[in-house]
Chains A and B, each alone.
Chain A
């Protein structure tokens, strides 16, 4: 299990229809159980890169290997089964606001259900139990039957993490998960993400603006600038001056 590669980018390019280069020849590997922070300016391609890992965005060429399978070539059912293994956390939480916390969390399991059961809103007893357990991990069981729009930002993000855990993911992608939260709440959510790695051996990739948080939580830091990978170092070798440079050089241009 040691150093098993969960994610690998091979010569990945993304050119948008407008002709703008989103990603340019990206290459890197991520091992099982690693916590990777992706840093860079807005528009550097962090979000594009993250969204290409579960094929929410199509890449132009190259390979994105998840557990050795090139997800960029998958379609239909095979793609959906692959997506079950990849959780995703968003800056805006993206909960279904007008429904309960329980239903939001159970929705994370829908990839495992046939369509007709979802239509009728049927979930197994085991999964209802699992929803409670996953909510307990983020300390949100008490809100089980509350509507999602009654929760604070930090609470919503925790529910989103529980929803992701319902998928039994091997990899979790978090796109600016704390950018809309205050510093104290941010720390709580980052701790929850860190626990995914620590207790569940889930690989975590986090796009993050805060260099401070990146240094505090990550095992490795990847830097993007103008769609190119400009930095890729384990935390032991990374220092704040390097990271500052990723941002500052971008500003000069």
Chain B
């Protein structure tokens, strides 16, 4: 038996004339007759994903194992690549909004809001107060559902099944509210540049208020199940530790960054949508391990509930769209009866809303981390470049370095703690 120690030579990439990669990494680059150091110590390569219960979509991890110890993890992504950034270059700004539903599909409303904000920054539009409050509500609802999915699936990854269904039942409540508001449960397309697609329906606030009352109870139940559970603590504490300087160096954002003790929350530090006027706290971890990430996300859900209650209190009647006929479509009845409105309607639908030349980057605090939209405009109604700064993609990039030398079970736990959604990683 020859030693099959795996050596990956990271030379330059390329294809030979047959279309095969010229780099063959796991080959027997060296003859085993000399090196008998780890004779018989065969490494096993296990392919986790793209179809695997714990990869949260179509992530594929090639894991090199020595027994149960992980020597190396190579993530392969791109299975869900849809070319959203390319598609965005062929669309008006408002037409891009449906694309954002489909990137991070666990928090579509927050993506919609981020896109509208970025486009408004590019165009210099200031939205109405009611619109701002509604957008805050949308963002925080998204944060709760996204974190709930994370909580449930992480529980499953660590073997605890029951909290998954508890959290998904709460998530269902928000989806019902989302459906009542936007007509869609997943692909909300809630915002428009300069306003919202729709105001909240009558009696909707009461639904959200009752959710804010009941939701913390469920959350506390999950808290009881996990936070002081010895097995949970043993599985999460001191696993996948990211020190603060590493977290910054790897450009991590969101709960991943804050769990490592870096107090940076876009809502606090670069406020948008009047977040500075809301009273909420930002949980900061201390050790940067899975447990701290769990605690940070759990606490963020409580804080989001606080923000939601405050936002509901300050929700006052008023317009949801800016008074600018160049940006906002006129009501249908006016477009059919009023010549001027009809012209604006026609121009907007056919030509779109032109943005001034320039570029704008806007980052918002999405559940997964800092979601940034970077628009480059050449003065036309379609962006030259629409760049998504995908928090999950960047957070995921640290995975291989976290997984060296841990156990196979820890790979699953660490991967879960990163909170990825493949729609956003692959875009």
Partners in one complex: no
Q: Which residues of B approach A to under 8 Å, CB–CB?
A: none
